[in-house]
Structure 1
Amino acid sequence: MRVVQVLPALWSGGVERGTVDSAIELAKRGHEAIVVSNGGPLVTHLEDAGVRHIQRPVHRKSPRSFGQIAPMRRLLRELAPDIVHVRSRMPAWITRLARQTLPAPERPALISTFHGMHSVSGYSAIMAKSDHIIAVSDCVRRYVLDNYRVHPDDLTTIQRGVDPAVFYPSVPDERWRQQLEADYPALAGKRIILMPGRLSRWKGQHAFLEAMARVFQREPDCHGLLVGGADPGKQHYEQELRTHARALGVEDQIHFLGPREDMANLYRRATIVCHLSSRPEPFGRTVTEALACGTPVVAYRRGGAAESLKACFPQGLVPPDDVNAVVDRLHHMLRHPPSIAPLPAPFHLESQVDATIAVYGQILARRATGRGP
């Protein structure tokens, strides 16, 4: 198959990394994988794996983006893909409108993935107007069925998969550890409590700092790490967090590492990973990545992250927004380190790609027999 995936850009985040992982895995299996986006640092990952990237300005949430319909139409005619897989709303609008202007025999199958629970609106509804829809968790599936006119047979849940070639139980690479401690000497000999995720108010970094201030009182050999960068135009939030850490008196026991490319080693170096988002996340990739590396996770019982943790490590769940429960669970795990079972098969990248290819094949077979759109 020739599969084109379209998304806004390739900077960081679960949508972007999932797209890259899927494209690389499709290419490994002999399919032709192409990604269309406005570009970003993750493009090099695609190119290193031999996956073609085509840069187009499909990222702006603006009426001006509809000027990309004609260029997208030309691109679809040139590439003649079997499948076009859209992963975000504006790219979905551009792609669907471009596809509609093609002669019927030239129109590729259109697949969409709901990576999130967007505000319910006509703008968001475009994600439900495809030949088949993929939801990244059961809570996202419920959201789609509750809010859009979608037949259950046209909607498939496919959990986001972790690549076991990257995330697996091990000790951190020794040279990596030495370099980390050279860069951050305060980490030497410390137990690390890790909070991965972009710096955004709803991601729960304030709650993490509040919990750490209390954990450090009883566990002074612990250190907190915040990993992730701020969204464009929101760099002030990092300064707000630093100010809050200083007010709590923990600025010397907290480090901000920014965006990193060495997450597997950071998970392995961590004693515990936290996931404390203040609103439901559609999936929560950091949960399964950490567990795949053999590191326990403490997370609120909320959204897709809780769904993943319930299936893989239920003892890490705590009531939503209950910082007291977070602190108690951290203390317990620090004193009684839990064992982590291997990640269940549905959360492996191989299973994700198997299921996605099955959806592609099902839709293409329906079209070939004249039973599909």
Structure 2
Amino acid sequence: MTADSRRPGGEGDRGGRAAAVLVAHPGAELYGSDRVMLETVLGLRAVGRRVVVTVPVDGPLLVDLTAAGAEVVPVRTAVVRKSALRPAGFVRFAADAAVGAVRGWALLRRVRPDVVYVSTVTVPLWALLARLARRPVLWHVHEAEGSQPALVQRLLAAPLALATRVVANSHYSVDVLARSAPRAAARATVVLNAVPGPAEPTPARAALEGPLRLLYIGRLSQRKGVDVALEALGELRAGGDDVVLDLLGAVYPGYEWFEQQLRDRAAELGVTDAVRFLGFHPSIWPFLEEADAVVVPSVVDEPFGNTAVEAVLAARPLVVSATSGLLEAAAGYASAQQVPPGDVGALADAVRTVGKEWEQRRQDAMADAAVARERHAPEQYRRRLVEAVDAVVRRRA
């Protein structure tokens, strides 16, 4: 235990020992749920909690976790993914579960956490191990698969019966959860994601000289609608609009075929010179500064929409799919336009509107940034997550 993990008295003190929190997370990158989990750790460390984070893989997130004062322990574990539905994937999932059960149990016995914080529904094994060890579980729900068949939703939500308390990232997530696991939904508290942004965003350029610069941030995947953004780019340029598109993000390992498919389609549309594949970068803000507008064209349910909020925080006009948690993330911002998911023409028209109404959109975006900074302030998020953890610790005591 580090010296600053002790705090005499207070909510987290247990007979001279700072309340320990074991955090179980499925990945180690720096996408939405990864950054939110990091904010949770920062909040817990700020009030003197001992934090041990377990992840099954290596990645850039681990550097930030260590800098935050967390102890990072890699433990192989079963992560619920679509690949588990295939025979080879299921065998791997079962092997991960077996190994994870043994090593996870050993970690629980060593740490003796006061609460196990399970980040996302994709690592249910940790909740099961925690309850077998008679440790309470605070489960943070970042997923909302409202478009999935009812049976799939129930299977995904079934492990939440093990939760002592649930935190969800949006009201939409709770609504979806209520359909498949009403008891878990009844124990849920909505805490909007912390989305750190610049204290003073750089205003968008005053005049659109040269092409309108669009930016997409996130995984390169079909569900995120990257192909829709590409098709809209093709329609815009075919109509004489001077627009370019940057794609900031990468595919999941094993899905490199999708990136190649996007590149091939760009060639077919004749927009190869107008689209850049930038790959993953841990800091998105330099790219937002260069952009004129941001597109979030998801075609399926999103539990929330950190990328949409980041665009607003950067004072950039936003075009976002009118669906699920994205509606919640973009609500109340004058600079945000909402379009039907998957509608290439509507997306292209909204981008044209940004160009035609540039000065007004630019001013609206600056005003919206101030609202977003308050709504998604990390300090507010950290306080509410610490309160949720403390409530579970008090219940155990």
Is this a same-fold pair by TM over 0.5? yes
1:218-257 deviations in Å (ceiling 9; x for gaps): 6654311011111111101111001111111111111100
1:167–1:53: structure 2 CA closer, same or farther, 3 Å change rule?
farther
Q: CA deviation at 1:163?
A: 1.4
2:104 aligned partner: 72
Aligned AA (1:193): L
Please give the per-residue CA displacement for 1:86-137, whole angstroms capped at 9, x wherever unaligned: 12345322x23322333xxxx3321111211243243541134200011111
- The aligned runs of 1:112-151 (5 Å cut-off) are 112-118=139-145, 119-150=152-183
> Relative to 1, partners in 2 of residues 1:325 and 1:60: Cα closer, same or farther, differing over 3 Å?
closer
Match of 2:88 in 1: none
Partner of 1:36: 54
Map 1:229-268; keep pairs closer than 5 Å. 229-268=250-289
1:20 to 2:53 alignment: no
Aligned mates of 2:161, 2:332 — CA distance in 1: 27
Query: Hey, what's the Cα distance between the residues in 2 that align with 1:352 and 1:284?
Result: 16
How high is the sequence identity, in percent, across the aligned residues?
Answer: 24
Paired letter, 1:137: S
**1:96-175 alignment, distance < 5 Å:** 96-102=127-133, 107-118=134-145, 119-150=152-183, 152-164=185-197, 166=198, 168-170=200-202
SS of equivalent to 1:194: strand
Give, as a single letter, the amino acid of the residue that structure 2 aligns with 1:214: E
Quote the residue 1:176 is aligned against: none
- On the 8 A contact 2:157/2:181 being kept in 1, the answer is no
SS at match of 1:122: helix
Equivalent in the alignment of 1:185: none
Count of residue pairs the alignment pairs up: 347
Alpha-carbon distance in structure 2 between the residues aligned to 1:348 and 1:217? 41
Q: Deviations over 1:149-205 (max 9, x none)?
A: 3165411111111113x5751269xxxxxxxxxxxxxxx964310011111111111
1:208 lines up with 2:229 in the alignment: yes
Shift of 1:314: 6.8
Letter matched to residue 76 of structure 1? L
| 1:52 to 2:71 alignment | yes
Question: Structure 1 segments of 4 or more deviating over 3 A?
Answer: 121-124, 188-191, 217-221, 311-315
Give the structure 2 partner of residue 182 of structure 1: none
Distance 1:308 1:136 in 2: 10
1:222, 1:149 → 2: CA distance? 46
Contact 2:166 2:187 in 1 (8 A): yes
Corresponding residue for residue 9 of structure 2: none
Alpha-carbon offset, residue 346 of structure 1: 3.3
Q: Is the 8 A contact 2:40 2:385 kept in 1?
A: no
Aligned to 1:355: 384
Question: Is 1:3 the counterpart of 2:35 in the alignment?
Answer: no
Amino acid at match of 1:362: A
Q: Which amino acid aligns with 1:360?
A: V
Change (3 A) 1:3 1:332: same
1:177 matched residue in structure 2:
none
Contact persistence 1:199–1:229 (CA under 8 A): yes
Contact 1:167 1:293 in 2 (8 A): no
Q: Report the CA distance shift for 1:322/1:168 in structure 2 as closer, same or farther (over 3 A).
A: farther
Return closer, same or farther for 1:120/1:167 CA change in 2, 3 Å cut-off. Answer: farther
Q: Which is worse superposed, 222-231 or 332-341?
A: 332-341
Alignment of 1:197-346 (within 5 A): 197-217=218-238, 220-313=241-334, 315-337=336-358, 338=361, 339-340=364-365, 341=368, 342=370, 343=372, 345-346=374-375
1:22 maps to a residue whose letter is T
Return the letter of the residue paired with 1:366.
Answer: R
Q: Which residue of 2 aligns with 1:85?
A: 117
Q: Distance in 2 between matches of 1:319 and 1:198?
A: 20
Aligned CA distance change for structure 1 residues 99 and 121 (closer, same or farther; 3 Å): same
Q: TM-score, normalised by structure 1?
A: 0.86
CA contact (8 A) 1:37 1:54 kept: yes
Contact 2:164/2:392 (<8 A) preserved: yes
CA contact (8 A) 1:310 1:317 kept: no
Q: Which runs of 5+ in 2 are unaligned?
A: 1-18, 81-92, 146-151
Change (3 A) 1:83 1:311: farther
Contact 2:319 2:337 in 1 (8 A): yes
CA-based RMSD: 2.3
CA contact (8 A) 1:195 1:273 kept: yes
Answer with 300-309 or 111-120: which moved more.
111-120
Alpha-carbon contact 1:83-1:108 (below 8 Å) kept: yes
Instruction: Give the counterpart letter for 2:59 in structure 1.
Output: G
Q: Residues 364 and 26 of structure 1: is their aligned pair in 2 closer, same or farther, counting only changes over 3 Å? A: closer
Q: Deviation digits for residues 307-351 of structure 1, max 9, x if unmatched?
A: 110144474212232222211211111222312221163322222
**Closer, same or farther in 2 for the Cα pair 1:346/1:167, shift >3 Å?**
same
